[in-house]
Chains A and B, each alone.
Chain A
Amino acid sequence: MYQYSPEDSNFLVERVDQFEKQLKRHLAGDLDDAKFKSLRLRNGLYMELHAHMLRVAIPYGTLSSTQLRSLASVADKYDRGFGHFTTRQNIQFNWIELPEIANLLRELSDAGLHAIQTSGKATRNITADPLSGLTEGEIEDARPYCELIRRWFNLHPEFSWLPGKFKIAINGAKLDETALRIHDLGLRLVRNNQGQLGFSVFVGGGLGAAAMIAAETASFVEVEDILSYLESTMRIYNLKGRRDHQKKLRIKFLVRELGADEFSRLVNEDWQQTKNDPNLKLNLVELEQLKKDFALPIKSLNLESFEEKVDFNYSIWKKNNVRRHKIDGFSIVNISLTKLGAAPGDATSEQMRILADLAEKYSANELRTTKRQTIVFPYVRKDQVYDLWQSLEKYGLASPHQGTLAQIVACPGRDYCDLAKAVSIPIATRVQERFNDMKRLLDIGDLNINISGCENSCAHHHVADIGLLGMQKNGEEYYQITLAGETLHETVIGKKLGPSVSGEIIVDAVETIVNVYLKNRLDQERFTDVFKRIGIAPFKEKVYE
């Protein structure tokens, strides 16, 4: 598994040292709130409703058991024994005391973890398919590219003070588990007609109040030219992006105002000046080294004589949570952290340690995090999946909800977040209680519900089968419903169903929508396919009747 070099580790320490000095100046009254805010955000530190929150990066979603134990230790020492896995391959800790932040960051840096640029108006953590390297038909494992691009934009002197935050996702697989076209910038690994490897580039996606799908600005950029192309994109954004309107800071507004063609032309014009600069070429020698560092630590196994265990609960869990691996003899295991009443993505320090131990025993010391706030064990021997399930069952981690309606994605909502207009977790809990019947869940099948507590859309409600957006009306909580959004096969922003629905009856509305789907479904048709076929009217009619 890839690990930082001593120079990289030293860089993390230097960054902590610098932030500690800034913190001391702030606490001594020598650095005002506004400037300190800008600096602390670039180190992942937020001021939330009750206390400070720290967002720690899990680059490309890959963690070692050692790193997860380090996160568990931070949860115990600095939070109240919890960590929250986010939809963008980060983990968040609450209840952080400001004077303790430097010590916390030092502990993380010992494990090769950091919070650099997990917030603020700079390039954020670069996300990848959590199944990178594991599935058939993938063009390439995206993670070496993520790492090289992450490094390049790490404290980049020119692009650390952008108009708004800048989120990048890279996908090398057939299906898009990264949702790259709802990112500020998405890269898709592709091969051209000559078989050369490169990237299609998509710019200007984003959710929030003005949800937009990123436009393709280049259909093919050669691998070694990608850094100069990204720099040109950011330079145009840095110089021309809106800075005068708080709600129009993201690059999507610039792309919309200029038009995708004009934006692409400006980027291309700038790029022609730098494209051939040898200093801006991606280092192909380093890339090859990283490919070795990220190579799968397993070889195919002949398990023909292996007999699968017969166990009803195991088979339900396996059907929902275990996926085919491209390497013979191995499986990909998805572990849901979903528990009634708990924030989706929340894990206790004890759970983190259990998962770290189990990953050490069953998954070559490696875990991945996903945008559905689950944990993936990427390398489980087929003949050990049952043993793993028994261990997970013992610790209450064998929830068979993966891919079912009960695997809800929700932001922390108004219970925790300063920005939220409505609660998210209690709604998720009520939906789970309503559908607390495995036979019914299996009948409904793969259907996702995402709940965001405000327009910032942290739970990506626009791209869920059923999306709920919390809002306030006359002091009461209401939820706007969107239907049939998706990102996996294609990127579609969900359609608004109609007027928002009161929190009191929102779960009834969700159940009605599910019933309309089931009534109209042909064979195993997906929700989005039913929606395309019958349109919004039947859903609208039943919800508002």
Chain B
Amino acid sequence: MSEILQIESILNKDYESVDLVSFQEWFENVNKLSKLSVGIIVGPSDDVSLIKDQLDCIELIVLDFNNFDDGRCYSQAYLLSKRWKFPGEIIGINAHLDQLQFMIRSGVTSYVLLDSYLGLDEKDYANGFSICYQEAANNSGLQKKY
């Protein structure tokens, strides 16, 4: 059975269910959807710069980290969070334990781990280091050396 989550809604930080639409659906129905407080699922190949002027109308953004070696989602998180200052949540789905440190520092605000990692200690991977060598979207808790 595939571990990949096929989701139509997700809980936000206040535990309220938010409907999700794909990147493509958003553009096909942008006038309607921008009034409905929905979230968008962004895939690694989606060009996030296309939504940078619509961020105020988006409730939350879901980034898909399923492909272990595909680093595009980290740049997407950085651009949304740091450069365009998206005010809502950036949720990483299909997250891998070993990549939490990179996701969080790139600007992901919360995450949903793949089921196969359940039971393992997330803290070891989310906060494995005491120091950081570079500016990032989120360096909280890290001693800065740069």
Known: A17-B128, A18-B124. A39 touches B98 (CB 8 A): yes
Contacts of A227 in B (CB 8 A): 134
Shortest distance from the beta carbon of B77 to any chain A beta carbon, whole Å: 8
A239 near B72 with CB under 8 A, answer yes
Q: How far apart sit A273 and B82, CA to CA, in the bound complex (Å)?
A: 11
Partner among B68, B71, B106, B130 whose Cβ is within 8 Å of the Cβ of A10? B130
Within 8 Å of chain B (Cβ to Cβ): is A280?
yes
The size bracket of the interface on A is: 35 or more
Interface string of B113-128 (1 = CB under 8 A from A): 0000000100011001
Q: Is there contact, CB below 8 Å, between B143 and A7? A: yes
Tell me if B26 is interfacial: C-beta within 8 Å of chain A.
no
What B residues does A66 contact at CB under 8 A?
Answer: none
Q: Smallest distance from the beta carbon of B59 to chain A beta carbons, Å?
A: 24
CB-CB contacts of A136-159 with B at 8 A, as 1s and 0s?
Answer: 000000000000000111111111
Contact of B68 among A38, A152, A155, A157 (CB under 8 A): A38
| A162 / chain B contacts, CB cutoff of 8 Å | 71
**CB atoms of B68 and A35 under 8 A apart:** yes
B residues less than 8 Å from A161 (CB atoms): 69-71, 74, 99, 102
B143 close to A160 (CB less than 8 A): no
Kindly state whether residue A283 has any CB partner on chain B within 8 Å: yes
Q: Report yes or no: B75 in contact with A235, Cβ–Cβ below 8 A.
A: yes
Give min CB distance, B32 to chain A, whole Å: 29
Interface residues of A in 107-160 (CB under 8 A from B): 121, 151-160
Q: Tell yes or no: A22 within 8 A of B by CB.
A: yes
Any A CB within 8 A of the CB of B15: no
Instruction: Write out the residue numbers on chain B whose beta carbons fall within 8 Å of the beta carbon of A10.
Output: 130-131
Q: Which of A17, A152, A155, A277 contacts B146 (CB 8 A)?
A: A152
**In the complex, which residues of chain A have a beta carbon less than 8 angstroms from the beta carbon of B70?**
161, 243
Q: Is the CB of B128 within 8 A of A14?
A: yes
Q: Cβ of B129 and Cβ of A11 under 8 Å apart?
A: yes
Q: Are B68 and A34 in contact (CB under 8 A)?
A: yes
* Given known A-B contacts A14-B130, A18-B124, A158 and B98 have beta carbons under 8 A apart: no
User: How many angstroms from the CA of A153 to the CA of B134 in the assembled complex?
Assistant: 7
Assess whether A155 is in contact with B129, with CB atoms less than 8 Å apart.
Answer: yes
Known pairs A14-B129, A152-B134; A283 contacts B146 (CB<8 A): yes
Complex Cα gap A30–B130 (Å): 26
Contact with A along B61-75 (1 / 0, CB 8 A): 000000011111011
Q: When A7-B145, A279-B135 are in contact, do A157 and B101 touch as well, CB less than 8 Å?
A: yes
Given A21-B124, A238-B71, A238-B75, CB of A158 within 8 Å of CB of B145: no
How distant is the Cα of A155 from the Cα of B76 in the complex, in angstroms? 17
* B131 and A11 within 8 A (CB): yes
Collect the chain B residues with CB atoms within 8 Å of residue A273's CB: 83
The residue among A162, A227, A239 with the most chain B CB atoms within 10 A of its own CB is A239
Contacts of A30 in B (CB 8 A): 120
Closest approach, in angstroms, between the C-beta of A229 and any C-beta of chain B? 14
Complex Cα distance, B69 from A10, in Å, reads: 27
Beyond A18-B124, A35-B68, A39-B98, whether A157 also contacts B136 by CB under 8 A is yes
B146 contacts A158, C-beta separation under 8 Å: no
Contacts of A38 in B (CB 8 A): 68-69
Cα A238 to Cα B70 in complex, Å, equals: 9
- A246-288 residues at the B interface, CB under 8 angstroms: 273-274, 277, 279-280, 283, 286
Docked pose: A152 CA to B131 CA in angstroms = 12
C-alpha gap A73/B85 in the complex (Å): 51
Residues of A within 8 A of B103 (CB): 157
Instruction: Let me know if B125 and A18 touch, CB within 8 A.
Output: yes
What is the minimal beta-carbon distance from B53 to any residue of chain A, in angstroms? 15
CA distance A155 to B101 in the complex (A): 9
Q: Which residues of A from 277 to 304 have beta carbons under 8 Å from B?
A: 277, 279-280, 283, 286
Residues of B close to A15: CB separation below 8 A: 129
User: CA–CA, A523 to B137, complex, Å?
Assistant: 61
Instruction: List, in ascending order, chain A residues with CB within 8 A of B136's CB.
Output: 156-158
Assuming the contacts A7-B143, A18-B125, asked whether A158 and B106 have C-beta atoms less than 8 A apart, the reply is yes
Assembly CA distance A235 to B49 (angstroms) = 13
CB distance from B43 to the nearest CB of A (A): 13
Q: List chain B residues, Cβ under 8 A from A8.
A: 131, 145
In the complex the two chains form, is B68's CB within 8 Å of A154's CB? no
- Kindly state the separation between the CA atoms of A154 and B101 in the bound complex, as whole angstroms: 13
Question: Known: A22-B98, A158-B106. Is A238-B72 also a contact (CB below 8 A)?
Answer: yes
Q: Are A151 and B71 in contact (CB under 8 A)?
A: no
Interface assignment of B78: CB less than 8 Å from any CB of chain A? yes
- CB contacts (< 8 Å) of B134 on chain A: these are 151-154, 156-157, 227
CB-based nearest B residue for A157: B105
Q: Of A17, A121, A239, which one neighbours B69 at CB under 8 angstroms?
A: A121
Given the complex of chains A and B, what is the CA–CA distance between A235 and B68 in angstroms?
Answer: 18
Q: How far does the Cβ of A248 sit from chain B's closest Cβ, in whole Å?
A: 15
Within the complex, the shortest CB–CB distance from B23 to chain A, in Å, comes to 15
| Chain B residues within an 8 Å CB radius of A280 | 135
Q: Check A18–B128 contact: CB distance below 8 A.
A: yes
Task: Add 13 more A-B contacts to A14-B128, A157-B105 (CB < 8 A).
Answer: A15-B129, A34-B68, A35-B96, A35-B98, A38-B69, A121-B69, A151-B134, A152-B146, A155-B102, A157-B103, A157-B136, A159-B74, A160-B74
The chain B residues found within 8 Å of chain A, CB to CB, are: 68-72, 74-76, 78, 83, 96, 98-99, 101-106, 120, 124-125, 128-131, 133-137, 143, 145-146
Supply 6 A–B pairs (Cβ within 8 Å), ascending by A: A151-B134, A155-B101, A157-B105, A157-B106, A157-B134, A159-B74
- Chain A to chain B: the 9 pairs with minimum beta-carbon distance, closest first: A161-B71, A157-B105, A279-B135, A151-B133, A157-B102, A157-B106, A158-B74, A18-B128, A152-B134
